[in-house]
């Protein structure tokens, strides 16, 4: 039993901020992601608008969110175990190919005016199922590309790219929908997967750990046992779930905030989301440099505490400038919390368990959102959205304080499964 004590050697901050890009394998992966993350935001805007145009039903929009993210929560234990049992590069080639087929079919049906609300729901569910396999494997695959020393920097760079795309992707998607229609957004998303698929097919020399396998369900249970037996991982996952759940009123009900609480229009909702994106990008930039484990361990609990305070302030605010000022720390807090949690989990988790643990991370981060939306919608309808913001903020900050002042867990010892490294 050995503890992982890997820290990056001292480097000038400019070199530290993008050091993972020195790795040629990760560099190819990073640039292949660029069209994909922009395409994801374009798709998100288009599919929601398409469902609203076809149905004009808030209920179906809520159900669409469950179809999109629900499989990540429900299938996480299965997909994480599968990710740990097979070569992740092969699994990602399969998921990218399936994404292209599904999104292209949806584009064709939309462009030929054969799309219906039921078809949109079905394709969103299918895409959600594929995402449940793709997400934990993609996150664990980055660790295979860069190794432990540069992993934290690679995760921060990925998050910075994703949040930078959020600043332009929705606007581009909205313009394409307004000018050409939703079908062309889906067609662009299908094309956006192609560079990643080509990169994965041609990528050589990725280390892969061969290990003895136990029966499938025994390995699934061992993933949960690992998290239960290590207080670091368990506390991090609890905070991720709480932050994701309590931030639902802001990220999923922003139009209501702008209209009902601030007495404004959709333009303010867009501005608030952009300000939140700026805060998130700032967090990602900072964590590309200040990513030592001793520093990262501070972020999950205190970022969650800051997130709760920002939500409480937004709940009390009826002023657009005040809410806009709180949107910046809101974005910083949620991204720094999630980014630090992702980095710490991957650092503390042995490679043989990484797919299962990252599936649990995805369950807490994404899977709580659609179910949280249903709860928040019901509470907001009965008690009002300001009360919902305030209650969620109190829950978030209180949980962060509880975790912060619990006795410090012992140094995490990692199990040592029998593995033999090989190259793909």
| DSSP-derived secondary structure for 52-121 | HHHH--HHHHHHHHHHHHHHHHHHHHHHHHHHHHS-HHHHHHHHHHHHHHHHHHHHHHHHTT---HHHHH
Maximum mean pLDDT: which of 5-14, 265-274, 282-291: 282-291
Residue-level pLDDT at 210: 63
pLDDT on residue 211: 63
User: Binning pLDDT at 50, 70 and 90, where does residue 289 land?
Assistant: confident
Element at 420 (helix H, strand E): strand 419-423
pLDDT at 135 over 80: yes
- φ, ψ at 9 (rounded to 5°): -60, 155
* Residue-wise pLDDT tens digits, 168-222: 777 788 788 888 888 999 999 999 999 999 999 999 877 666 666 778 888 888 8
Q: What is the pLDDT of residues 80-114, one digit of tens each?
A: 999 888 888 999 999 999 999 999 999 999 999 99
154 class by beta-carbon count within 10 Å (0-12 exposed, 13-18 middle, 19+ buried): buried
Q: Name the one residue in this structure whose structure tokens are 């699994």.
A: 91
Percent of the chain with pLDDT over 70: 89
CB 235 within 8 A of CB 291: no
pLDDT band at 14 (very low <50, low <70, confident <90, very high): low
Reported as half-sphere exposure (CB side, CA atoms, 13 A), residue 403 has a value of: 27
| Percent of the chain at pLDDT exceeding 90 | 32
Q: What is the pTM of this model?
A: 0.79
The token duo for 28 is 């190819």
Residues 6+ apart with CB under 8 A from 88: 137, 140, 141, 144, 208, 355
Question: DSSP readout, 178-191?
Answer: HHT-HHHHHHHHHH
Exposed, middle or buried, 104 (CB in 10 Å: 0-12/13-18/19+)?
Answer: middle
Q: What pLDDT does 16 receive?
A: 60
Is it the case that residue 417 has pLDDT exceeding 50?
Answer: no
16-409: what fold? Growth Hormone; Chain: A; (1.20.1250)
For the stretch 290-309, pLDDT in tens is: 767 777 888 889 999 999 99
Spell out the domain ranges in the chain.
16-409
pLDDT over threshold 90, residue 397: yes
Per-residue buried b or exposed e for 319-335, using 16+ beta carbons within 10 Å of the residue's own CB = ebeebbebbbbbbbbbb
Q: How confident is the model at residue 2 (pLDDT cuts 50, 70, 90)?
A: very low
Judge contact between 329 and 306, C-beta under 8 A: yes
Q: Which two tokens stand for residue 216?
A: 């499938």
Over residues 327-345, mean pLDDT: 90
């Amino acid at each position: 039993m050995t503890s992982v004590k890997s820290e990056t050697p001292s480097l000038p901050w400019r070199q530290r901020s993008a050091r993972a890009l020195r790795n040629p394998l990760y560099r190819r992966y990073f640039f292949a992601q660029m069209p994909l993350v922009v395409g994801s935001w374009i798709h998100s805007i288009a599919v929601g608008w398409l469902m609203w145009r076809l149905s004009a039903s808030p209920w179906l929009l809520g159900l669409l969110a469950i179809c999109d993210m629900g499989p990540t929560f429900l299938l996480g234990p299965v997909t994480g175990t599968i990710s740990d049992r097979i070569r992740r590069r092969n699994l990602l080639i399969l998921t990218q190919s399936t994404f292209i087929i599904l999104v292209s079919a949806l584009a064709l049906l939309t462009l030929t005016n054969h799309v219906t609300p039921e078809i949109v729901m079905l394709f969103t569910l299918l895409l959600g199922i594929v995402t449940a396999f793709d997400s934990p494997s993609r996150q664990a695959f980055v660790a295979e590309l860069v190794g432990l020393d540069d992993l934290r920097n690679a995760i921060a760079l990925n998050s910075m790219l994703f949040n930078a795309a959020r600043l332009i992707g929705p606007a581009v998607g909205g313009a394409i929908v307004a000018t050409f229609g939703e079908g062309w957004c889906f067609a662009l998303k299908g094309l956006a997967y192609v560079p990643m698929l080509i990169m994965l097919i041609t990528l050589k020399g990725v280390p892969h750990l061969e290990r003895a396998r136990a029966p499938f369900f025994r390995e699934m249970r061992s993933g949960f046992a690992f998290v239960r037996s290590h207080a670091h991982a368990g506390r991090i996952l609890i905070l991720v779930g709480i932050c994701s759940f309590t931030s639902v009123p802001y990220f999923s009900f922003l139009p209501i905030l702008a209209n009902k609480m601030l007495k404004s229009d959709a333009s303010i909702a867009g501005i608030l989301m952009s300000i939140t994106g700026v805060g998130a990008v700032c967090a990602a930039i900072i964590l590309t440099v200040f990513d030592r484990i001793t520093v990262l361990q501070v972020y999950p609990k205190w970022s969650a505490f800051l997130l709760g305070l920002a939500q409480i302030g937004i709940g009390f605010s009826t002023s657009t400038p005040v809410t806009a000022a709180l949107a910046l720390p809101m974005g910083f807090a949620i991204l720094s919390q999630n980014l630090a949690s992702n980095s710490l989990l991957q650092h503390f988790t042995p490679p043989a368990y990484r797919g299962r643990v990252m599936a649990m991370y995805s369950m807490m981060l994404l899977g709580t959102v659609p179910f949280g939306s249903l709860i928040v919608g019901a509470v907001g309808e009965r008690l009002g959205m300001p009360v919902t913001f305030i209650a969620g903020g109190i829950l978030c900050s209180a949980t962060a304080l509880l975790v912060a002042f619990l006795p410090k867990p012992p140094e995490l010892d990692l199990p040592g499964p029998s593995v033999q490294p090989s190259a793909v």
